[in-house]
Amino acid sequence: MADLRSPRFWVPAAVLAFLALLPAYSALVGQSFYVTLFTRILVYALAALALNFVLGFGGLVSFGHALYMGLGAYAVGILSFHGVTNGWVHLAAALIVGGVFATLVGAVVVRTGGMTFIMITLAFAQMGYFLAVSLKQYGGDDGLTIDARSQLGIVDLGSNTVLYYAVLACLVACLWLFNRMLGARFGYVLRGSKSNERRMLALGFPTFRYKLSAYVMSAMVCTLAGFFLANFTKFASPSYMQWSVSGELIVIIVLGGMGTLFGPVIGAIVLLLLEEVLQGYRPGLFPPLEEVVNKHWQVVIGLFVILVVLFAKRGLYGFIVERRE
Amino acid sequence: MTWGLFLTQVLNGLQLGVLLFLLAAGLTLVFGIMNFVNLAHGSLYMMGAYFAAAAYAATGSFLAAAAIAVAATMILGLVIERVALMRLYARDHLDQVLATFGLILVFNEVVRYIWGPSSIYMNAPEALSGQVTLFGLNYPSYRFAIIGVGLAVAGGLYLVINRTRLGMLIRAGASNAEMVSALGVDIRFLNTMVFAMGAGLAGLAGLMAGPILSVQPGMGEPVLILTLVVIVTGGIGSVRGAFYGALIVGLVDTVGRAFLPIVLQLTIERSIAQAAGPAIASMLIYLLMAVVLAVRPAGLFPVRHG
């Protein structure tokens, strides 16, 4: 079924191979920094992949998925704070809390559509943010330091490399899962309700249930990303739920290619590398300008986002794939 | 809990409400006509506050600072509408949200570059720095002035929208922009006017908030999100909805934060109440919004189409 020469096959294959070999390369050149940088990238890729499932395929433009990353992070943080170090408990708590929250929030938001949907998801995420800020016993505004990473039995997340491969494994598993779901009846109904919901209803599909299930699944994968984020930084902070994080996830999706399965992974790599480069890179060609860019790199990101929206709507992966076909 | 304290909190809520209304009015009108949402509206508010603080420091006159801030924000709004936002009207909501998200990042960094990352302070004008006594209650006269100006603007907007030809076109545009355009009205120009007016009101809100809040980069975002709650609760596109929505959100938020922890302490155990009170209070307006949307998905005062 896979055509080896199709970019739909070799681009993801090449990128995943690169990601799988990265820790080896990093150990070879003695730069452990690459592993931590790419762990962060993979966590964002996982969250963006989840968001793209509802945004790109279901047409539900959620501007509040950072909420679920934050919930996942706080599940780890609060349990560790109370002395629970078992990683499976952390993981189960994160997924259950994320699932319950997403069901409640989803039951309200999925009924609406268009602009209202965008604004309400944003408002709910903001609610979570203020909730986290007001939890004074768990650090409030300053966030919550986590003493040690979750203990997952033989999977020792204490090692950066193991954590990296754990996130990568989850990313690959989710790629496979979403790929299967999109090819199944569920995925077709979801995509159908994006392109013409009225017709799907007329055909007798209860689209609300499909959209709500997709929303909950997507949210739960985001809480998984939050679980990893908290383990990676050993910190749970309200800023994980900040609305700019939700915005960043959408930027990643659009940059990589909305409505393509693999686009978010490429988008995450490109955007986060760009941020990293802008903050620290100094080629020394024109030092005064470089200093300003390093300090005010968000101007460049902002302009970059505007340009991508105006002129490059298909995204990078969309561009590579469509040009060849 | 005394009545004086309660009245003070109600006045504070009213004051937050009118500030939110100034922002919501412009945002909701542009949405009504062009089906466009501008997340950078909060940045215009921030720019208004900075313009005001800078002009006040330079001229020493609050009135001059007010005039400069409102005019400058209006011009800035016109420029970004013509340069960037105009291209987005035909795009879908996702593109609009993303591009204006990019604008927010740019504005925040520009402000940080020009005025530095820490907050700057702006004093209330001399004439309004005292207190007013009302029913035996002392209340800062500057905050009274905010309520007064806000209500006056609301009244003025009501007259413009319901009694003038321009207002008639705005109402017609909100209910069916294509039809108005087909009847020979330059709907783009109309929208630009409305946008500039909205930017001016955002600048006014920033100016008035300057002396009571700290003027700092990113100050627009929390306010923007409250404004979105206001227009979703009130009904997108409706100025009347924005007005009532703003007052409801302002009052519920302020009064809830002040009294919910106290009320909870009367009913449940003290330690739990102290922990849960502020948390629930900070979520109140979002819960309110969720309830409103669950009962009336189009908001409390939806625009009548057709």
Query: How many pairs of residues across A and B have Cβ atoms under 8 Å apart?
Result: 125
- CB of A243 within 8 Å of any CB in chain B? yes
Substitution target in A305, A311, A314 with the highest count of B β-carbons within 10 Å is A305
Q: Is residue B2 part of a domain?
A: no
Closest by CA to B104, choosing from B40, B28, B46, B165, is B40
CA distance A109 to chain B (A): 8
pLDDT at B20: 93
Closest by CA to A91, choosing from A148, A146, A36, A151, is A151
Q: Is residue B27 part of a domain?
A: yes
The C-alpha angle with vertex A248 and arms to A247 and A253, in degrees rounded to 5, equals 100
Residue type, position B131, single letter: Q
Per-residue pLDDT tens over the stretch A150-187: 888 777 777 888 899 999 999 999 999 999 999 999 99
Strand partners of residue A145: A235
The four Cα atoms B41, B46, B49, B55 give a dihedral, to 10 degrees, of: -100
Question: Mean pLDDT over residues A40-66, rounded?
Answer: 92
Q: Is residue B126 part of a domain?
A: no
Q: Is residue B128 part of a domain?
A: no
pLDDT at A42: 95
**Residues of chain B contacting residue A123, judged by C-beta atoms under 8 Å apart:** 225, 228-229, 232, 286, 289
- Structurally, chain B folds into a number of domains equal to 1
How many residues are there in chain B? 306
Alpha-carbon gap, residue B20 to B18, rounded angstroms: 5
* Interface contact B286-A124, CB threshold 8 A: yes
Q: Is residue B304 part of a domain?
A: no
Q: CATH number, domain at B145? A: 1.10.3470
Residue with more model confidence, A224 or B178: A224
pLDDT at A120: 85
Interface of B with A (CB under 8 A): 31, 35, 37, 84, 87-88, 91, 93-95, 97-99, 101-106, 108-110, 112-113, 221, 225, 228-229, 231-232, 236, 275, 278-279, 281-283, 286-287, 289-290, 293-294, 297
Residue B205's domain spans which residues? 9-118+139-295
Per-residue pLDDT tens over the stretch A276-299: 888 877 776 777 777 777 778 888
Q: Is the dihedral of CA B192, B195, B201, B207 positive or negative?
A: negative
The shortest CB-CB distance from B103 to any of A114, A124, A306 is to: A306
Is 90 exceeded by the pLDDT of residue B45? Answer: yes
Per-residue pLDDT tens over the stretch A75-118: 999 998 888 888 899 999 999 999 999 999 998 888 887 778 88
CA distance B202 to chain A (A): 19
Is 80 exceeded by the pLDDT of residue B32? Answer: no
**Residues of chain B contacting residue A124, judged by C-beta atoms under 8 Å apart:** 286, 290
Alpha-carbon gap, residue B288 to B285, rounded angstroms: 5
Q: Is residue B46 part of a domain?
A: yes
State the average pLDDT for chain A: 87
User: At A155, phi and psi to the nearest 5?
Assistant: -80, 100
**Residues of chain B contacting residue A258, judged by C-beta atoms under 8 Å apart:** 94
Percent of chain B with pLDDT over 70: 98
Banded model confidence at residue A44, pLDDT cuts 50, 70, 90:
very high
pLDDT at B248: 92
Question: Which three-class secondary structure state does DSSP give residue B139?
Answer: strand
Q: Rounded to the nearest 10 degrees, what angle do helices B187-209 and B41-59 cross at?
A: 50
**Residues of chain B contacting residue A114, judged by C-beta atoms under 8 Å apart:** 93
Banded model confidence at residue A230, pLDDT cuts 50, 70, 90:
very high
**Residues of chain B contacting residue A61, judged by C-beta atoms under 8 Å apart:** 93-94, 97
pLDDT at B306: 44
Closest by CA to A126, choosing from A118, A137, A138, A115, is A118
State the average pLDDT for chain B: 85
* Interface contact A299-B236, CB threshold 8 A: no
CA distance B306 to chain A (A): 20
The shortest CB-CB distance from B99 to any of A130, A136, A309 is to: A309
Q: Is residue B129 part of a domain?
A: no
